[in-house]
Every structure is written in C-alpha cells, then in structure tokens.
Amino acid sequence: MCRTGPAAAHAAAALAQWLTALRRRSRLSHRRMSVLLAEHGRSVTHTTLWRAEQGTGLPRWPTVEAFVTVCGGDVRHAARLWTAAARGRCRPGCHTPHRAPVRRPLPLVTEPAHLLQAMRGARTTAGEPTLRAMADRHAVADSAVSHLPRSTLHDILSGRRMPTLAQLRRFLQACDTPPADFPAWEAAWRRVTSPSARPR
C-alpha cells in the first residue's frame, strides 16, 4: 500500500499554507478565481481550488500553477514547493503500479533533459498517441508529407535532437495540450536553448 512519509506530508502542508496566504493577499474567493481562469481558457472548478488549500493530499501541478497564476504569485517558488511534496509521496521501496513518476513543473525546466521529460509526459497525458497519428495531425493537404514527420518525432523523443520552437508547438498541438499552456512551454524552451544554458 502506498504511504506518504512525514517529510512529504510536511511539504504538502507547507504548500497548502502558502497557497492560502497567497489567496488571502489577493482577496479572491475560490469562485472568483475559477471565473477569472475560465476567462483565460483554463477550466478549474472552485472546489478543486479549495481542495488545493486543505493540505490533505497533493494537488495536481496544473491546479497549483493555475491557482498561483490567477493570484499573481511566484510560479517558480510554487514549483519548488510542489516538487518537494511530490518527491516523497511514496516511501522507499514502494512499487504501487498506479503511481506515475514525478514530472518537473515547467517553471523548473532548465536543461534539455528536463524538457524531454516534460514532452514525454505530455504525450503520456494525451494517451500515448502513435508517432504516425501525431504526424498525421500536421500533414500537408493532399500529400503524404507532414510538417512534423515521424522520423523527426522519433529523434526528438529519443533525445537525439532538440525541437525547434515551431516543432514544439506542433508537438503540443498533436498532444491536445491546451493553448493556454503554450506560453509556459515556450518559456521553458527558451530557457533550455539560450546560450547561457549551454555547458561551457
């Protein structure tokens, strides 16, 4: 049976307390937060936002990101708190099959390996579409050519090449990633590909 260790429980409580303080500073109700998010194309119920503050479980990262964004908080700080809580959700030696590996939140993506992990996670979330199906989403009309060929997808997902920004956008579209999430992905791509991020 999967159990949460004391350190993870403490980290989850710290995240919940920080979210509560952030919302109170913003003077927003959970219902108002839900409405504001909906206006920007993000569907998060007020009940889900309320639960994120309770500390009884770890909310999904997209919920935390939406919560912090609408309240004007520091998303990178939130990502660090969430990651600390997520890392210890199982005690050492736990092999509960339904648990997915912890994925690094986009604000903490700073290396090519991080971006690759995030892209693989996006594909998993989309139900593991085949490379052919993803390529077909971007097929040129009346031809067998694709703007995102299977060979390119294979090279990107195997870590052999870094996607261009255009390829990343097409990949996300093929994974049915909400358009509202694209800016965070693009910011992560720019961090990874900036000259300062390259090893010296």
Of 131, 165, 166, 161, the closest CA to residue 149 belongs to: 131
pLDDT value at position 70?
A: 93
Average pLDDT score, the chain: 84
81 is written with which tokens? Answer: 């708190």
Separation between Cα atoms, residue 185 and residue 79, nearest integer Å:
14
Separation between Cα atoms, residue 28 and residue 7, nearest integer Å:
30
Chain-centroid distance, C-alpha 176: 13
Cα→Cα distances 110→48, 58, 62, 92, 117, Å: 29, 24, 18, 27, 12
pLDDT value at position 83?
A: 85
Domains delineated in the chain:
6-87 (1.10.260), 109-197 (1.10.260)
- The list of the chain residues with pLDDT below 50 reads 1-3, 91-101, 199-200
Separation between Cα atoms, residue 32 and residue 165, nearest integer Å:
34
pLDDT value at position 28?
A: 94
Separation between Cα atoms, residue 145 and residue 124, nearest integer Å:
25
Task: Quickly list DSSP for 94-148.
Answer: ---TTPPPP---GGG--SHHHHHHHHHHHHHHTT---HHHHHHTTBPTTSS-BSS
pLDDT value at position 30?
A: 95
Q: Distance between terminal CA atoms of the chain? A: 45
Separation between Cα atoms, residue 53 and residue 9, nearest integer Å:
13
pLDDT value at position 137?
A: 86
Query: What is the maximal distance between C-alpha atoms in the chain?
Result: 59
pLDDT value at position 73?
A: 93
State the pTM of this model: 0.59
pLDDT value at position 112?
A: 92
Burial (Cβ within 10 Å: 0-12, 13-18, ≥19) of residue 90: middle
pLDDT value at position 41?
A: 82
